[in-house]
Each structure stands twice: as C-alpha cells, then as structure tokens.
C-alpha cells in the first residue's frame, strides 16, 4: 500500500486575471510516516499550435506538412520546508501563493491549439514520485490599445446598401442596412448592445435577421523547413436571430444584446509577437425568402485592464 492516501489542490476562485495572485493549499493525506519527503507545487502556463498544410499544392504532387509553434508564459515553483524531514500519518496542509505575469493571454482551446494554465502538486522522496495532482486554471488576459487606433480603425457605425430585384417587376430597388454600437470596447462578461436599422424599398418581406459575433484568429507557426506560416480561422462565438412579422415594412429598427463569455482572448495589438493574433467582429445579415441577403460587419475590441497585485 502506498504511503500517500491522497494529494489535493484547493484554490478558492474559478477565474484569475493576469497579474493577480493565485492562492491555495496543497492537502496531503498519509497512511503512514513519510521519511525524507519533498512536497512542492508548480504554476505552469504554456501555449501550443499545430496544423497541417499542403506543400507544393500548385504542382502535380503534394505532401502534407506540419506547422507548429509554442510559447511558455509562466513556470514558478514553491518547495515547502518540512521540519524534521519527516511527516506523521494523517492530514497535512501547505499554503502557497503565486503572482501571475501581467501580460499573458487568456485560457483558450480550438482545433488548432490551446493556451492553458495549471497548478501541479508533487509529493516525492529522494528516489521516486509518490503522488502527483494537476488542476487547470481559467485565466483572463489583459491588453492595451491606443485611442488613436480605436478611433481610426474601429468605427461605431457601419452602413451597407445593396440593389435587389423588385418583387413586382424587373427593376431593382435598394435596401440599406445600418449597424451601430454605442461603444466598441468591451470587457469579457459585458453586454454588447447594438441597434440595427433597415430601410427596405424592394417590396420584399424580410424573412429574418441574424446577428453573429465572430472571432478571427490568425495562427502563426513554422513548418519543418523553419519557414514562417500562418492560418486564419473564423469562428462563431454568439448567435442571435430576429424573425420579423410578415409584410414589406419599409423602415425597421431592432435593438439587440449579446452577453459575452467571462473568459475571452483579448484583441491583439498591431505589434503582437504572440503565437496568434486575435480579432472580433459583429455581423448583421438580412435574409429574404428568395435566398438574397445583405450583410453589415462592424469590428469590436475585447480589452481587459491589467491588475495591480498589490491591490
């Protein structure tokens, strides 16, 4: 029978901000006396990407090539001081505290890669490891954006006009879709409130209006020849549908709200040297029964302020 009955990691919070303090306890339960124990806890954060691409795709032959990248964000260790160099049978608690780095990305998982943070407790002797326990943490990253960048590249209003064939003849008529935000900087967990205005002169009834919050990720890696490669992935994070009443109303206004997740990757700055660049946009699409559609897209920023660990 093993000397160690159980090894447990206890932390009080579900989500941690970058730059904040991670406090907890290692709880060790022993069946019998343990001589020359080594008890420690590690805080580890790393990111990893991997995807396959076709090499020589423009030629008659091609071969799949792997593209990878990785990053280490934090690795801290605390080894506990044990008086007398032995532990009695029973329960022993060891308190620890780590400070997360102030500029690290959020916890993230996709088909291409992941960014993860975890605590790892280890109980060992000088000869062998007796028990190991791992606990993953949800971490929310931080970012900084300049006001000039926000004002020049992230508008609050986007308007799209498209000519569609009129329902009663072969002439075309315009439909205008206007998507507006009261602000374009949001924090994870915020409500994203926006207004959609539709001016419809086509004489056609609108089937539905669909709103989608997209994440736009640009993965950055290297192939086997150490050449820099990129892969863009666009995913739907949130979706909302509005079904309008039957009729061909000329002017329609819709007020909508989307609730952001509590943990998100923050929008990347232009000088990012991370393993991926991150962006978000909100789209509104008007659908007609005849399969015609009109889409407006407006970018938004997900930002989170840095935390002072002394507060």
Task: Please tell me the distance from the alpha carbon of residue 70 to that of residue 222, in angstroms, as a whole number.
Answer: 10
Band (pLDDT 50/70/90 cuts) for residue 311 is very low
Q: In this structure, which long-range contacts are made by residues 243-247, counting pairs with CB atoms below 8 Å and at least 24 apart in sequence?
A: 243/207, 243/208, 244/205, 244/206, 244/207, 244/208, 244/209, 246/205, 247/205
CA angle 23, 28, 33 (to 5 degrees): 145
Higher pLDDT, 311 or 275: 275
Alpha-carbon distances of 145 from 90, 115, 154, 268, 287, rounded to whole Å: 52, 22, 11, 9, 35
Q: Reply yes or no on whether the pLDDT at 150 is more than 70.
A: no
Q: Where are the domains of the chain?
A: 4-140, 147-302
* Span 1-19, average pLDDT: 92
Band (pLDDT 50/70/90 cuts) for residue 289 is confident
Nearby residues of 4 by Cβ (< 8 Å), 6 or more positions away: 28, 29, 30, 31, 34, 123, 130, 131
Q: Reply yes or no on whether the pLDDT at 151 is more than 60.
A: no
CA angle 257, 263, 264 (to 5 degrees): 75
Q: Which CATH architecture has domain 147-302?
A: Sandwich (2.60)
215-242 per-residue burial string, b: 16 or more CB within 10 A, e: under 16: bebebbbeeeeeeebebeeeeeeeeeeb
Task: Please tell me the distance from the alpha carbon of residue 161 to that of residue 165, in angstroms, as a whole number.
Answer: 13
Instruction: Give tens-digit pLDDT for 214-245.
Output: 999 999 999 988 999 999 999 999 999 988 77
pTM for this entry? 0.84
Instruction: Give tens-digit pLDDT for 271-288.
Output: 566 899 999 999 999 998
Q: Is residue 8 within 8 Å of 26, Cβ to Cβ?
A: yes
Structure tokens, 50: 């991997």
Q: Reply yes or no on whether the pLDDT at 145 is more than 70.
A: no
> Of the spans 47-61, 89-103, 193-207, which averages the highest pLDDT?
89-103
Domains 4-140 and 147-302 share a fold: yes
Q: Is residue 159 within 8 Å of 174, Cβ to Cβ?
A: no
Termini Cα distance of the chain? 46
Looking at residue 206, what is its pLDDT?
Answer: 85
* Span 176-199, average pLDDT: 93
**What's the mean per-residue pLDDT of the chain?**
88
CATH class of 4-140: mainly beta
Band (pLDDT 50/70/90 cuts) for residue 270 is low
Radius of gyration of the chain (CA): 27
């Amino acid at each position: 029978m093993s000397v160690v009955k159980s090894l447990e990691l206890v932390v009080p919070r579900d989500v941690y901000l970058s730059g904040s303090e991670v406090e907890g306890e290692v709880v060790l339960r022993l069946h019998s006396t343990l001589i020359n124990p080594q008890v420690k806890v590690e805080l580890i954060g790393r990111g990893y990407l991997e995807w396959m691409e076709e090499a020589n795709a423009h030629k008659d032959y091609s071969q799949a090539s792997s593209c990878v990248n990785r990053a280490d964000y934090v690795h801290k260790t605390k080894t506990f001081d044990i008086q007398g160099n032995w532990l009695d049978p029973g329960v022993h608690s060891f308190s620890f505290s780590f400070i997360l780095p102030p500029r690290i990305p959020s916890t993230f998982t996709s088909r291409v890669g992941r960014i993860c943070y975890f605590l790892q407790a280890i109980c060992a002797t000088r000869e062998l490891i007796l028990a190991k326990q791992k606990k993953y943490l949800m971490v929310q990253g931080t970012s900084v954006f300049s006001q000039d960048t926000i004002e020049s590249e992230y508008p609050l209003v986007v308007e799209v006009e498209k000519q569609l064939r009129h329902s009663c003849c072969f002439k075309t008529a315009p439909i205008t879709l206007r998507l507006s935000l009261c602000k374009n900087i949001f924090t994870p967990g915020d409500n994203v409130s926006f207004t959609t205005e539709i001016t419809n002169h086509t004489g056609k009834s609108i089937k539905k209006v669909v709103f989608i919050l997209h994440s736009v990720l640009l993965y950055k890696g290297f192939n086997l020849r150490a050449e820099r490669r990129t892969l863009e992935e666009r995913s739907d994070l949130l979706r909302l549908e509005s079904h309008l009443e039957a009729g061909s109303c000329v002017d329609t206004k819709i007020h909508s709200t989307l609730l952001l997740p509590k943990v998100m990757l923050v929008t990347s700055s232009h000088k990012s040297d991370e393993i991926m660049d991150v962006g978000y946009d909100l789209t509104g699409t008007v659908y007609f029964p005849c399969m015609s559609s009109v889409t407006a897209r407006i970018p938004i920023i997900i930002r989170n302020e840095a935390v002072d660990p002394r507060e």
